[in-house]
């Protein structure tokens, strides 16, 4: 009994000692930080599984009707279009609103402080409702994550810097791919400083274009440009960059596989497709100036008008999308009343002639088409998970003192952009930027950086130039479109 009693007493003493030590530590901690218990324990952020987010996204898609989508697009037009119109007349303003000056920098800093405080107040709401972030959470890696990509490197921000290693191909060469009307070294131009500039993104380094890397990355793949003549310039630029401007007799013309053949009575086919047999890489271009479907109203009448279906993508896209691994879309400058009248295009929506007065306005129709095409391509991405789709923002014009047919000119030959920067976070093309927001389509944002290059256009140096008529829309090659392809390459 005595031994048992002694053992029990020892245990009790040990327990009492532990309790006293714990109490001492607690009291000491309280004296040091008396308000500690006033704060709740840290909360883990709300985490939703990718399956749950996907179901939420599918539910939201199902509950949004086509009518609602159309109304949402049209309601945003009034905010986007004034900015977009400035792009078409970029030469008048030189894109000065994006330059860094002491005054603007001070205002930007003040605005940044105010913006930061507001973001802190509403950061939880922002996280859950941001279209870029919410649409990218749980998305398959094969699709593009707009928000993450911008954080990694916003290629639209930066400046032009001199580079003696430019151009990437000879302006006298590349005759196999480059149209003579765009090869400024083959024309009357005598200054070539525009060839010696390289785009340098801010706060990041852009991957340098190398032909070997390009073909390795595009092995057994097809890259397609679909758009207007600026898209054709980008296509020809890439062909020259990929070959270094050298003759490639082994390259195969595979246009017939995509219906790109010369039709009777046409000066040229609707596009071209070339295959490099060493890596089975195909690069093609299809001319679709407005991206929407265009078809004759009366096939038996040679003088018929043509229905432009604003809410229907071009037939070429619907037929051949499954063959593409990289798709680059663009449109912009054909959306004017003169082009519509000259081509006998009549707006159609839902398969019938348009009666909506809002759509009768050119920029309203263009906005609806861009959103519709992007939405359609986005809807196809689950079927083709390897497809990388881009929408290229609009290429700016630089007409001074008038338009192309009223004496407008762009005679400057001195690069005006060296030492000036694009610092804005938002794209200079809000229509394109808003269309791709929250989708798997990536914005190829080239508008701001191209605004700085008014000296890079063909200007008065065309072989067929007429007095008082200058080309301040298309670019000299080699030139600015090469940079578009460098940015594209860096993101493929």
Is 417 within a domain?
yes
Give pLDDT, residue 237: 98
Cα-Cα-Cα-Cα torsion 22, 26, 29, 35, nearest 10 degrees, comes to 160
Closest CA to 97 of 109, 88, 113, 108: 108
CA-CA distance, 207 to 487, in Å (whole number)?
8
Is 8 within a domain?
no
CB 327 within 8 A of CB 389: yes
pLDDT digit of tens for each residue in the chain (492 aa)? Answer: 444 444 445 555 556 666 566 655 554 544 444 333 333 333 333 333 333 334 334 434 433 455 555 555 555 544 455 444 544 444 444 333 333 333 344 444 444 434 443 433 333 332 233 333 233 333 344 444 443 444 579 999 999 999 999 999 998 889 999 999 999 999 888 899 999 999 999 989 999 999 999 999 999 999 999 999 999 999 999 999 999 999 999 999 999 999 999 888 788 899 999 999 999 999 999 999 999 999 999 999 999 999 999 999 999 999 999 999 999 999 999 999 999 999 999 999 999 999 999 888 999 999 999 999 999 999 999 999 999 999 999 999 999 888 877 878 898 888 876 668 999 999 999 999 999 999 999 999 999 999 999 999 999 888 776 777 899 999 999 999 999 999 999 999
Q: Tell me the β-bridge partners of 327.
A: 224, 389
Q: Which residues contact 154 (CB under 8 A, 6 or more apart)?
A: 201, 202, 203, 204, 425
| Whether the bond into 478 is cis, omega within 30 of 0 | yes
Query: Rounded to the nearest 10 degrees, what angle do helices 480-491 and 229-243 cross at?
Result: 70
Cα-Cα-Cα-Cα torsion 21, 23, 25, 27, nearest 10 degrees, comes to -150
Give pLDDT, residue 92: 42
Q: Using one digit for the tens of pLDDT, what is the confidence trace for 284-298?
A: 999 999 999 999 999
CB 139 within 8 A of CB 49: no
For 462, the enclosing helix (H) or strand (E) is none
**DSSP SS3 for 324:** coil
Closest CA to 201 of 235, 145, 152, 238: 152
Count Cβ atoms below 10 Å from residue 479 Cβ, excluding itself.
25
Give pLDDT, residue 338: 92
Is 133 within a domain?
no
Give pLDDT, residue 448: 96
Give pLDDT, residue 487: 98
Is 137 within a domain?
no
Domain total of the chain: 1
Give pLDDT, residue 141: 41
Is 215 within a domain?
yes
Q: DSSP letter string over 233-285?
A: HHHHHHHHHHHTT---TT-EE-GGGGT----TT-SS-SEEEEEETTTTEEEEE
Give pLDDT, residue 151: 58
Q: Using one digit for the tens of pLDDT, what is the confidence trace for 17-44?
A: 665 666 555 545 444 443 333 333 333 3
Give pLDDT, residue 418: 66
Is 139 within a domain?
no
Give pLDDT, residue 228: 97
**DSSP SS3 for 143:** coil
Is 134 within a domain?
no
Tokens of 69: 């989508």
Closest CA to 282 of 221, 340, 235: 221
Is 204 within a domain?
yes
Q: DSSP letter string over 383-445?
A: T-TT-EEEEEPPPPP--BSS-TTTT-B----S-S-TT-EE--SS-S-HHHHHHHTTSSPEEE-
Cα-Cα-Cα-Cα torsion 447, 489, 437, 289, nearest 10 degrees, comes to 60
Domain containing residue 455: 158-490
CA-CA distance, 314 to 231, in Å (whole number)?
15
């Amino acid at each position: 009994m005595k031994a048992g009693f002694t053992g029990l007493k020892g245990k009790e003493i040990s327990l009492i000692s532990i309790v006293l030590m714990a109490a001492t530590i607690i009291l000491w901690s309280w004296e040091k930080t008396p308000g500690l218990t006033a704060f709740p324990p840290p909360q883990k952020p709300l985490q939703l599984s990718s399956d749950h987010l996907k179901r939420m996204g599918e539910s939201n898609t199902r509950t949004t009707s086509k009518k609602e989508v159309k109304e949402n697009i049209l309601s945003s037009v009034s905010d986007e279009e004034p900015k977009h119109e400035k792009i078409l007349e970029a030469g008048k303003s030189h894109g000065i609103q994006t330059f860094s000056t002491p005054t603007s920098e001070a205002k930007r800093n003040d605005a940044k402080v105010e913006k930061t405080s507001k973001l802190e107040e509403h950061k939880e709401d922002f996280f859950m409702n941001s279209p870029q972030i919410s649409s990218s959470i749980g998305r398959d890696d094969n699709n593009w994550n707009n928000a993450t990509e911008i954080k990694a490197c916003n290629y639209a921000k930066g400046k032009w810097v001199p580079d003696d290693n430019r151009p990437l191909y000879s302006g006298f060469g590349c005759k196999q791919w480059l149209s003579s009307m765009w090869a400024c070294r083959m024309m009357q131009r005598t200054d070539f400083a525009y060839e010696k500039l390289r785009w340098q993104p801010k706060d990041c380094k852009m991957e340098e274009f190398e032909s070997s890397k390009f073909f390795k990355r595009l092995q057994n793949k097809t890259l397609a440009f679909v758009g207007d003549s600026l898209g054709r310039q980008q296509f020809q630029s890439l062909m020259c960059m990929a070959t270094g401007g050298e003759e490639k007799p082994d390259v195969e013309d595979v246009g017939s596989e995509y219906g790109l053949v010369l039709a009777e009575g046409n000066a040229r086919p609707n596009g071209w497709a070339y295959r490099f047999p060493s890596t089975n890489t195909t690069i093609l271009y299809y001319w679709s100036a407005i991206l929407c479907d265009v078809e004759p109203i009366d096939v038996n009448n040679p003088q018929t008008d043509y229905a432009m279906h604003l809410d229907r993508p071009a037939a070429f896209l619907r037929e051949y999308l499954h063959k593409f691994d990289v798709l680059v879309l663009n449109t912009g400058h054909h959306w004017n009343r003169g082009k519509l009248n000259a081509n006998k295009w009549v707006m159609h929506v839902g398969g019938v002639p348009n009666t909506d007065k809002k759509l009768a306005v050119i920029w309203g129709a263009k906005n609806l088409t861009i959103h519709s095409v992007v939405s359609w391509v986005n809807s196809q991405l689950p079927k083709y998970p390897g497809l990388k789709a881009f929408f290229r923002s609009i290429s700016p014009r630089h007409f001074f003192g008038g338009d192309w047919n009223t004496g407008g000119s762009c005679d400057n030959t001195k690069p005006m952009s060296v030492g000036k920067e694009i610092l804005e976070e938002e794209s200079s093309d809000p229509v394109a930027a808003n269309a791709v927001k929250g989708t798997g389509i990536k914005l190829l944002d080239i508008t701001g950086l191209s605004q700085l290059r008014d000296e890079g256009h063909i200007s008065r140096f065309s072989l067929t130039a007429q007095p008082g008529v200058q080309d301040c829309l298309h670019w000299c090659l080699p030139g600015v479109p090469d940079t578009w392809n460098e940015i594209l390459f860096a993101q493929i």
